Amino acid sequence: MDDVAIPDVRGWLARQTVIVRGLAGAFVVMLGERLDAFVALVGALRAQVADRDHRIAQLERQAFGRKSERLKLPDPKREARRALRRKLTPEEREARRQEERTKSRKNRESLPVVDKLIHLPAETCCPACGGTDLHALGEGEVTEQIELVPAHLVRLRFVREKRACGCGQGIVTAPPPPQVVEGGEYGPKLHAHVVVSKCVDAMPLHRQSRAFARAGLQLSPTQLCAMFHRVAEAVEPIHKAMLARLPESRYVQADETTQPVLEPGQCRKGWMWTFLDELSIVFVYDPSRGGKVAARVLGVSEGVLTVDGHTGYNPVTTPEGRMRGGCWSHARRKLYEARAYAPEMVDAVLLLIHEMFVVEQSAIEEGIVGTRRHLRLRQRRSAPLMRAVMKKLDETVGAFSPESTLAKASRYVLNQRDALALYLTDARVHMHNNASESALRIVALLRKNALFVGHDQGGHHLAILLSMCATCRLHGVNPDAWFADVLIRISERGSTVEELLPWVWKEGRGVVPSDTS
C-alpha cells in the first residue's frame, strides 16, 4: 500500500507545485500591471498638478502682477513692423521719419486759424534812440501754438416770423426748427454728443451728467438714458439695412464677447457679437452665445468667414455655406499661454508664426494686399512656415499629458489646420481676426466703466449705436456730424435708409474730419 501511495503523493505535490508557480506568475504579472497603472496615475497626477500650478501662476500674474506682466504677450503686427524696420538702411529710416513729419504738419495746417493781435505797451520806445514815433513794420512777428477751445452749451432761441395778410383773415408762421422728437427740448447735436461720448469714448452716462453740470446744465443720468435710447430707436432701420446686406458679403469676420445684463440682485451674462465686412462693422446683442446668432445674421450664404475656434459659428461654416478661415493670433496666444511647459519648443513655433506676420506686414508696406502678388508671396514664404509649424506640433503634442495646457493649445491649432491654411489660397482672406477683436474693445471698456446694460433691450440699443459709430469711423466720418444730420433727415419725407448709410452719406455730404485712432 505504501509503495502505491507514494507515487500519488509525489504527483499531488508536483501538481500543487505547478499550481503555486502559476499563481505566483499570475501574481507577478498582476503586480506588474498594478505597478504600471500606479506609475501612470502618478504621472497623470503630476501633470495635473503642474497644469494647475501653471494656471494659478497665470491668475496670480493677472490679478496681482504689474500691468507689463499682465500684458506680456507682444502684439504680432507691432513685432512684425519692428522686424521690418530693423532691416531698413539709415537713409530709408530717415525718409520714413520725414514722411511722418509731413503728415503731422498737414494735419496741423488743416486746423482753423484764429488771429490774435498782441499790441505793444503804450510806453514802448525805441531801444536805440528812445523815441516814441514808431510805425508798423509789415505784418509783425508771427508765432503759432495749438490751443483748446472748450465746448460749451447754448440756448438756441428760435424766433419764427409771423405775418398777417392785409385782408385781415389769414396769418402765416415760419416752420419750426428741425427736432429729434416733436416738442423736444434738446437738439440733435446734443443727442449725438451723448451717444458718441459713450459709444466711442466709453464715457458712462453718470460721468456725462457730471460733465454737463460743469458746463452749466443739470442733466440727470435718467434724462441722458432716455436720449440714448431715443437715438437708437430712430436709427434702428439703418442698423437693419446693414444687417440685411451682411449675407451678401463674400468675406466676413466675426467675434463675440460678454455683455453683463442687470437683474434684481445680480448680473447675468449676455453676449455682444460683431460682424465685419468691407463696408460695415455691425454689432448684435443676444443673451446666448449659441450658433443661432451667427445663423440668424448670415443665414445660408456663400463666401468666407474668418473666426476663432468657437463652435457657435459651425452652423454657417458648412459645405453648403461659408468656408471657415482661422485666426493665427488666437492660435499664437494659446501657445504663448502654455509656454512654461516647454519654452524652447514653443519659442521655436512662435518664431515661425512671427515670420508669417512679417510676410503680411511686408505686403502692407509694398501696397500689394489682396492682389495676385500678395497671394504668390504667401505661397512662396508663408506656406513653408505653416508646414513647419504643423510638423513641430504633430511631433510634440503626444509628449505631454493630454490635459496639460500645452497639449490643449497644440490640439487647438492642429484641429484648425484647414481653417488656418485657408488664407494661403485667397489673398482677400486675412491671416488673423484682429479687426473683430479691435472692434470689441469698446465693449470691454464699457464693461469696466459702465459695468452693465439694464436689460436685453438696452443691449440691443447699445449694439445699434455701437454699429453706427464704428462704421462711421471705418469710413473717416465724424459720428457726431452723422448723427446730428441723420436724426433730422431720417424722419423727413423723401429720405431713404440707403442714402443714410455712413459710406453713402459720406459721398453725398463730403468727408468730415474724424478721430480714427
pLDDT, tens digit, 9 for 90 and up, residues 72-83:
566 776 777 777
- The answer to pTM > 0.85 is no
H helix or E strand, kind and range, residue 173: strand 171-173
pLDDT tens profile 127-180:
888 888 888 888 788 888 878 777 788 888 888 888 888 887 888 988 888 888
CA dist., res. 27 & res. 19, Å (int): 12
**pLDDT value at residue 494:** 80
Binning pLDDT at 50, 70 and 90, where does residue 71 land?
Answer: very low
User: What would the grid cell of residue 27 be?
Assistant: 501574481
CA angle 295, 298, 300 (to 5 degrees): 75
- For the stretch 196-233, pLDDT in tens is 999 999 999 999 999 999 988 999 999 999 999 999 99
* Cα(139)–Cα(66) distance, integer angstroms: 55
User: Averaged over 224-250, what is the pLDDT?
Assistant: 96
**Is residue 6's pLDDT more than 70?**
no
Q: Does the pLDDT value for residue 516 go beyond 60?
A: no
Lowest mean pLDDT among 7-21, 234-248, 365-379, 383-397: 7-21
The average pLDDT across 377-403 equals 90
pLDDT value for 488: 92
Those residues with Cβ within 8 angstroms of residue 142's Cβ, 6 or more apart along the chain or in another chain: none
Supply the Cα-derived Rg of the chain in whole angstroms. 35
Neighbours of 21 (CB within 10 A): 10
Phi, psi of 152 (to 5 degrees): -145, 160
Q: What integer pLDDT is reported at residue 73 of this predicted model? A: 64
- Are 280 and 302 within 8 A, CB to CB? no
Which pLDDT does position 478 carry in this prediction? Answer: 95
Check whether 475 has a pLDDT greater than 70.
Answer: yes
Cα distances from 374 to residues 7, 117, 377, 380, 427, in angstroms, run 93, 55, 5, 10, 6
Which positions ≥6 away from 286 have C-beta within 8 Å? 270, 271, 273, 292, 293
- Per-residue model confidence (pLDDT) at position 70: 44
Is 194 a residue whose pLDDT tops 90?
Answer: yes
Find the mean pLDDT for residues 464-482: 96
Q: How confident is the model at residue 7 (pLDDT cuts 50, 70, 90)?
A: low
Question: Angle at which helices 188-199 and 205-214 pack, to 10 degrees?
Answer: 130
Q: How many CB atoms lie within 10 A of CB 20?
A: 10
Residue 433 has pLDDT above 60, yes or no: yes
pLDDT at 312 over 90: yes
pLDDT tens per residue across span 85-132: 777 778 777 777 777 777 777 777 778 888 888 888 888 888 888 888
Write down the pLDDT at residue 279: 96
The percentage of the chain sitting over the pLDDT mark of 90, rounded to a whole number, equals 53
Question: Does residue 277 or residue 495 have the better pLDDT?
Answer: 277
From 250, 186, 274, select the one nearest 224 (Cα to Cα): 186
* Average model confidence (pLDDT) across the chain: 86
List, in order, residues 6 or more apart from 168 with CB less than 8 Å away: none
DSSP 371: S
Q: CA–CA separation, 57 vs 65, rounded Å?
A: 10
Confidence bin at 69 (pLDDT 50/70/90) = very low
Q: Which three cell numbers stand for residue 379?
A: 505661397
Look at strands 171-173 and 304-306 and give their pairing.
unpaired
Give yes or no for residue 511 having a pLDDT over 60.
no
Share of the chain above pLDDT 70, in %: 91
Instruction: Decide which of 182 and 60 is more confident.
Output: 182
At 60 the pLDDT is: 64
